């Protein structure tokens, strides 16, 4: 009986941890459904055609019950994007880390066995996924900025005829504003680290993704007003689908 109760408590705890996450969304591609699972802050999971991608995984408990990643994308060296303990906890044999050089320099030797370093402008195709690294940085450019140009990567993924954009930590830089044909965008907004809601909305209205998720919106003074972001974007272009999801389970 004790063994049964222990198992039941463990199962309930696991379910509770998973149940805190927002329900996944589906975007249909030529490869079949792409599942988008918001996790926490900058972390998310993309699953399509049997392949699973983690972006900036942070907090191993947030990934309990999820399929282990085939690919992990890391955007930058800061702890809310690059969490060595979580990487080591969630990866499986054969997981590929796609990272900027600054992250590679900080990886333990054991985790360097399966990694691919991309600098801004580089691209690779892994299985059936195109991955292109693009700039992410603060404005005005400065050697003392929290995010300097060239250190970290935003990513554009080509998946079954759809283009998915992960902003990483950035402001509304020209490289973002000039993006074309983006189907799904994940846009950060948290002062003083990236940009405010108004700047984020203005940048989105410049490149007009079909779907946009505000994410990474916890700043120094709390959570950004994502409802205001939605209002500004929809006022500028009602055809952009702004999807508000809970990236901070338990808050």
Tell me the average pLDDT of the chain. Answer: 91
Average pLDDT over residues 110-138: 95
Alpha helix segments (H runs only) across 20-100: 84-90
pLDDT of residue 251: 67
User: At residue 100, does pLDDT exceed 50?
Assistant: yes
- Give phi and psi for 34, each to the nearest 5: -100, 120
User: pLDDT of 29-50, one tens digit each?
Assistant: 999 999 999 999 999 999 999 9
User: pLDDT of 45-77, one tens digit each?
Assistant: 999 999 999 999 999 999 999 999 999 999 999
pLDDT of residue 11: 36
* Domain span at 193: 24-242
The rounded Cα 64 to chain-centroid distance in angstroms is 18
What residues does 133 pair with on adjacent strands? Answer: 155
User: pLDDT of 196-227, one tens digit each?
Assistant: 999 999 999 999 999 999 999 999 889 999 99
Q: Does residue 234 form part of some domain?
A: yes
User: pLDDT of 82-97, one tens digit each?
Assistant: 999 999 999 999 999 9
Tokens of 188: 């950060």
Q: Does residue 11 form part of some domain?
A: no
Q: Does residue 220 form part of some domain?
A: yes
pLDDT of residue 249: 86
Q: Does residue 238 form part of some domain?
A: yes
Helix axes 197-207, 226-236, angle to 10 degrees: 30
pLDDT of residue 2: 37
pLDDT of residue 13: 40
Q: Does residue 1 form part of some domain?
A: no
What residues does 53 pair with on adjacent strands? Answer: 46, 71
Q: Does residue 19 form part of some domain?
A: no
User: If you search the block for the tokens 């709390």, which residue do you land on?
Assistant: 222
CATH number, position 107: 3.60.15.10
Q: Does residue 127 form part of some domain?
A: yes
Pairing of strands 184-187, 162-166: parallel
Number of domains observed in the structure of the chain: 1
Q: Does residue 248 form part of some domain?
A: no
């Amino acid at each position: 009986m004790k063994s049964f109760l222990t198992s039941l408590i463990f199962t309930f705890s696991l379910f509770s941890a998973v149940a805190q996450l927002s329900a996944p969304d589906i975007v249909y591609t030529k490869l079949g459904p792409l599942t988008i699972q918001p996790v926490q802050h900058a972390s998310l999971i993309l699953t399509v055609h049997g392949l699973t991608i983690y972006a900036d995984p942070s907090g191993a408990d947030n990934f309990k019950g999820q399929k282990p990643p085939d690919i992990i994308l890391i955007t930058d060296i800061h702890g809310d994007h690059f969490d060595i303990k979580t990487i080591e906890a969630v990866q499986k044999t054969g997981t590929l880390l796609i990272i900027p050089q600054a992250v590679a320099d900080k990886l333990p030797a054991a985790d360097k066995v399966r990694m691919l370093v991309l600098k801004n402008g580089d691209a690779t195709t892994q299985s059936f996924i195109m991955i292109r690294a693009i700039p992410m940085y603060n404005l005005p450019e400065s050697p003392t900025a929290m995010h300097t140009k060239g250190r970290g990567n935003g990513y554009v993924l080509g998946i079954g005829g759809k283009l998915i954009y992960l902003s990483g930590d950035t402001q509304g830089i020209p490289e973002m504003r000039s993006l074309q044909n983006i189907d799904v965008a994940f846009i950060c907004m948290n002062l003083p680290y990236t940009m405010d809601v108004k700047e984020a909305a203005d940048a989105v209205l410049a490149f007009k993704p079909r779907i946009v998720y505000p994410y990474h919106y916890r700043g120094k003074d709390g959570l950004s007003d994502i409802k205001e972001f939605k209002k500004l974007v929809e006022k500028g272009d009602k055809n952009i689908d702004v999807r508000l999801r809970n990236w901070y389970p338990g808050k």
